[in-house]
Amino acid sequence: MTADSVSVVINKDNIATLTLDRTKALNAFDRAQVEDFNGVLDGLKVQTGLRALVVRGAGKVFCAGADVRYLRDMGAGSWEQNLADSKDYAGMSKRMRLLPVPVISCVQGGAYGGGIGVVAASDIVISEQNAKFAVTEGRFGFTASIMMPYLLPRIGIRQARRWCLSSEMMSASEASRIGLVDQVVQEGALDDALAMIINDVLRNGPVGIQQTKSAMNYLSFPPFNDETISASVEAFAKGRACTSAQEGAASFLEKRKPAWVE
Amino acid sequence: MSSDVVLCQIDDNSIGTITINRPDVRNAYNAELLEALTDAVDAFAVDETVRIIRLRGNGSHFQAGADIKWLQANASLSPEENLSVSALTTNTMKRLNECVKPIVALVQGGCYGGGMGIVASADIVIAEQSAEFAITEARWGLVAGPILPQVIGAIGLQHTRRYALSVERFSADRAHDIGLVHQVCEDGNLDEAAAPLFSLLLRAGPDALQATKALILDVTGIRLSDRVADWIVEQNSKQRQSKEAAEGLGSFLDSRMPHWYPEDRYDG
Amino acid sequence: MVTEPFILLDQDARGVATVTLNRPDVHNAFNDVVIAELTQTLETVAANPNVRVVLLRSEGKSFSAGADLNWMKAAIDNTKEENETDAAKLAELFHRLDTMPMPTVARVQGSAFAGGLGLVVCCDISIGVKRAKFSVTEVKLGLIPSVISPYLSAAIGPSEARRFFHTAELFDAEDAKRIGILHDAVDDKELDDRVEAVIQSILGNAPEANIACKSLIRALGSRVDDEIRMDTGRRIATIRATDEAQEGIGAFFDKRSPNWIREDTY
């Protein structure tokens, strides 16, 4: 099954692999890609016998976040449309969390901005050792928000403050040190590492797995609930509409420095 | 006060030692052991001659999970009785975790399933280099609810998520990296490694230690509420009565792979 | 004789406000005056829309040794209410620092003990030196790390809190980085460059975005509320009044072991 920017295949062991495939945009999310992603996840939710979902990005980079034009356009439009679209965007990570099988992301090259969101919402993350990670939103004047309900339980408030407010680039080993990534492997070794994890997962009872994931969601802090997600959705929508975001998008597209940089 | 399966002893330094004592079955727990463990902790909590609690397991392994015979017996319990079993495990972890006095756990060998919960409920953990850890429940079609709050408190949500879903085994060094273990020592050296730690703890005001522990439990929110305990107990109990759990147990007893593992992956 | 002010404030054209704790002779320990002045300075900075980053630093060898000894000695005769008031003011300082709307950076040029650790972990990004030492010393005196506990345990997590609060052990910068007190630990000669690099990174982000992001992180990720803060003040006030704490503090000033340590102990 293929939507335009997201493809999915399911193998004989009932392992689904979703591939972000918009390499000309470094797999950045635009409106269509969000819809495609959500569509695939909705299909997988009712896929009988599914045992795991693997998420990958085609090309050099796992996912460079969200398309700047898309963010700008949503921010510049009506508040209602902005908010509705923000909910859809947040729907991706929510679906990953609610899928009753382990979600395993395999990262090469880099995960930036919204790409960190996909990583954070995954159950297990394997990364090549030369991959880089950065919460880049602030550089463009946007507020890192949708990832927050998932980033906080992963790396904790102390690391969230450091990496979100500075938008510094971190190495795979630093990402592993702070818990953003679960396992780091040599370049080219993602498939072998993935195979081992899949084998482990297949040995575990599917219902036991589903219940475990459900228990983790129940015990989450911040709570994994509508209130938390709504707060992140609203911050995201506001963040896209504000002056900084519009200036950030404009300066990026016009290939100049934003107003807040000397 | 001690039964055979849990031994208790208090020394001249006001250290109360609780020793899990079923070495022939790798200290596997059943109802008797869980009750004895809770009784021991509760007794030391109010004993004025005890300032610090040392928790260890006899034999080669600290605590390797649930007793198989007990699991078999539990399979024929009524739903109400099953709830009680889940409640017993959940409550044991809670009483350990919230004991008013600091607990130092000394860990050797295998520490699986319930053993993880016990270790995560201690305040300070020293482990031998060759100690090994795993959240094993899902491998048998069970759900690890009763230990999850304490394990999450010790290693955080994400590491718990990863290790509970994969059931990977991890080493003492890895356990140290992620916060389950505070110090790794050479095999056979637990007591020597723990001695400076007990020295430090004995320099602290006894009441101050208790007040500090209470402070941490409260500001970090790791006390187990009744609401959460009830949810965990019900989920755990229901899953234990499921077909999947029966298949998990059956596969263990028959020394075969469970039906949910693809046949074409079996080794030769 | 004119004494230097305890707190210095400086601001540059980029919008970086530098707040300096200036009591090097006592390892930047704080008393009620320091607390009041630091809180006031931070309030002034917080309200300044031109400030984009706050750098918290101190003069001299140590970052901050926590509570001033003379102040502690004077507090021996405090009533419970006076202790509670003191604690509330310290809690207010940490709250003010923790909730600064713009990003904050701590330059940890030396050791930080007890309350001094609170200053480190209430900043967003803390860069320290490899030779710095740290300790949560309170239980040795029969006290508890009450006011700093919500911030410190949020930073290092329950497991490390259970270890370091109970043992009161001295630990190094490597451990401090491992458990989350420091984000980076560098050689002395690299400290200013690293701090500057972090500040530059923060300045690369839109001010509005950073303010909104920091606010969201706190809204979703913080467990600290008014009730908890008030409660930590009550707890320290209660314990200070106990015989054990009186013995602990007395022993400290008498330079002897408190009576709960047996001579032939472990």
CATH number of the structural domain spanning residue A111: 3.90.226.10
Q: What percentage of chain A has pLDDT greater than the value 90?
A: 98
Hey, what long-range contacts does C238-243 have (CB within 8 A, 24 or more apart)? C238/C80, C239/B207, C239/B208, C239/B211, C239/C142, C239/C143, C239/C144, C239/C146, C240/C75, C240/C78, C240/C80, C240/C83, C240/C143, C241/C80, C241/C83, C242/B207, C242/C142
Q: Confirm whether A59 is domain-assigned.
A: yes
Decide if C138 is catalytic: yes
Q: How far is C210 from chain A (nearest CA, A)?
A: 6
Query: How many domains are contained in chain A?
Result: 1
Chain A, chain C: beta-carbon pairs less than 8 Å apart: 118
Q: Is the pLDDT of residue A1 over 60?
A: no
Q: Provide the pLDDT for residue A3.
A: 65
Kindly state the average pLDDT of the residues B167-193: 98
φ, ψ of residue B183 in degrees (nearest 5):
-150, 135
| A174/B119 Cα distance (integer angstroms) | 27
Helix (H) or strand (E) holding B232: helix B226-240
Q: Is the pLDDT of residue B140 over 70?
A: yes
| C42/C212 Cα distance (integer angstroms) | 19
Q: What is the pLDDT of residues B83-99, one digit of tens each?
A: 999 999 999 999 999 99
The CATH H-level superfamily of B6-190+200-219 is: 2-enoyl-CoA Hydratase; Chain A, domain 1 (3.90.226.10)
Cβ–Cβ of C155/A165 closer than 8 Å?
A: no
- Burial class of residue C166, CB neighbours in 10 A (0-12, 13-18, 19+): buried
Q: Is the pLDDT of residue C215 over 70?
A: yes
Range of the domain at C173: 7-188+207-221
Q: How far is C198 from chain A (nearest CA, A)?
A: 7
- Phi-psi sector, A2: left (phi>0), alpha (psi -120 to 50), beta: beta
Q: Confirm whether A242 is domain-assigned.
A: yes
Kindly state the average pLDDT of the residues A245-261: 97
Query: Is the CB of residue B234 less than 8 Å from the CB of residue B83?
Result: yes
Q: Is the pLDDT of residue B198 over 80?
A: yes
Cα distance from N-terminal residue to C-terminal residue, chain A: 48
Kindly state the average pLDDT of the residues A214-227: 98
Q: Is the pLDDT of residue B154 over 80?
A: yes
Nearest to A149 by CA among B22, C179, C178, C220: C220
Q: Confirm whether A179 is domain-assigned.
A: yes
Q: Is the pLDDT of residue B3 over 80?
A: no
| C257/B96 Cα distance (integer angstroms) | 31
Range of the domain at A149: 6-188+201-253
Per-residue confidence band for C262, with pLDDT thresholds at 50, 70 and 90 = confident
Q: Is the pLDDT of residue A181 over 70?
A: yes
Helix (H) or strand (E) holding B35: helix B31-46
Q: Confirm whether A259 is domain-assigned.
A: no
Q: Confirm whether C15 is domain-assigned.
A: yes
Tokens for C141? 């005196």
| B236/B64 Cα distance (integer angstroms) | 19
CATH number of the structural domain spanning residue C98: 3.90.226.10
Cβ–Cβ of B208/C261 closer than 8 Å?
A: no
Helix locations, A114-168, DSSP H: 114-121, 148-166
Q: Confirm whether C118 is domain-assigned.
A: yes
Return the domain boundaries, chain B: 6-190+200-219
Whole-complex ipTM: 0.97
| B104/B185 Cα distance (integer angstroms) | 14
Residues, chain A: 262
CB atoms closer than 10 angstroms to residue A254: 9
Q: Confirm whether A65 is domain-assigned.
A: yes
Q: What is the pLDDT of residues B206-257, one digit of tens each?
A: 999 999 999 999 999 999 999 999 999 999 999 999 999 999 999 999 999 9
Q: Confirm whether C59 is domain-assigned.
A: yes
Q: Provide the pairing of β-strand A170-171 with C125-129.
A: unpaired
Among A141, A142, A222, the residue with its CB nearest the CB of C221 is A222
Q: Confirm whether C41 is domain-assigned.
A: yes
DSSP state of B103: E
Q: Provide the pairing of β-strand C125-129 with C133-135.
A: unpaired
Per-residue confidence band for C72, with pLDDT thresholds at 50, 70 and 90 = confident
Q: Is the pLDDT of residue A2 over 60?
A: no
Q: Provide the pLDDT for residue B171.
A: 98
Q: Could you please report the per-residue DSSP string of B9-29?
A: EE-TTSEEEEEE--GGGTT-B
Q: Confirm whether C64 is domain-assigned.
A: yes
Q: Is the pLDDT of residue C2 over 70?
A: no
Query: How many domains are contained in chain C?
Result: 1
Per-residue confidence band for B266, with pLDDT thresholds at 50, 70 and 90 = confident
Q: Confirm whether C35 is domain-assigned.
A: yes
Q: What is the pLDDT of residues B66-79, one digit of tens each?
A: 999 999 999 999 99
Cβ–Cβ of A162/C125 closer than 8 Å?
A: yes
Q: Is the pLDDT of residue B1 over 50?
A: no
Q: Provide the pLDDT for residue B267.
A: 66
Q: Is A219 on the interface with B (CB under 8 A)?
A: yes
Q: What percentage of chain A has pLDDT greater than the value 70?
A: 99
Give helix then strand counts, H and E, for chain B.
Answer: 10, 9
Q: C-alpha distances in angstroms, B124 versus A40, A184, B186, B213, C165?
A: 45, 28, 17, 12, 11
Q: Confirm whether A1 is domain-assigned.
A: no
Q: C-alpha distances in angstroms, A182 versus A122, A172, C45, C243?
A: 10, 10, 39, 49
Lowest-pLDDT range of A206-220, B29-43, C113-127, C249-263: C249-263
Walk across the sheet containing B183-185 and list its strands: B6-10, B15-20, B52-57, B103-107, B124-128, B183-185
DSSP state of B90: H
- Burial class of residue A47, CB neighbours in 10 A (0-12, 13-18, 19+): middle
3-state secondary structure C111-158: CEECHHHHHHHCCCEEEEECCCEEECCHHHHCCCCCCCHHHHHHHHHH
Q: Provide the pLDDT for residue C4.
A: 85
Q: Is C217 on the interface with A (CB under 8 A)?
A: yes
Kindly state the average pLDDT of the residues A125-150: 98
DSSP state of B141: T
Query: Is the CB of residue A16 less than 8 Å from the CB of residue A103?
Result: no
Q: Is A225 on the interface with C (CB under 8 A)?
A: no
Cβ–Cβ of C163/B123 closer than 8 Å?
A: yes
Q: At what angle do helices B226-240 and B148-166 cross, to 10 degrees?
A: 40
Q: Provide the pLDDT for residue C239.
A: 95
Strands (E), chain A: 6-10, 15-20, 52-57, 103-107, 110-112, 124-128, 132-134, 170-171, 183-185
Q: Confirm whether A194 is domain-assigned.
A: no
Q: Confirm whether C255 is domain-assigned.
A: no
Cβ-proximal residues to B64 (8 Å cutoff; 6+ apart), any chain: B26, B27, B28, B109, B110, B111, B112, B113, B115
Cβ-proximal residues to A57 (8 Å cutoff; 6+ apart), any chain: A19, A20, A21, A27, A63, A107, A108, A109, A115
Q: Is C222 on the interface with B (CB under 8 A)?
A: no
Kindly state the average pLDDT of the residues B139-159: 97
Set of chain B residues whose Cβ sits within 8 Å of the Cβ of A202:
260-262, 265
Q: Provide the pLDDT for residue B268.
A: 42
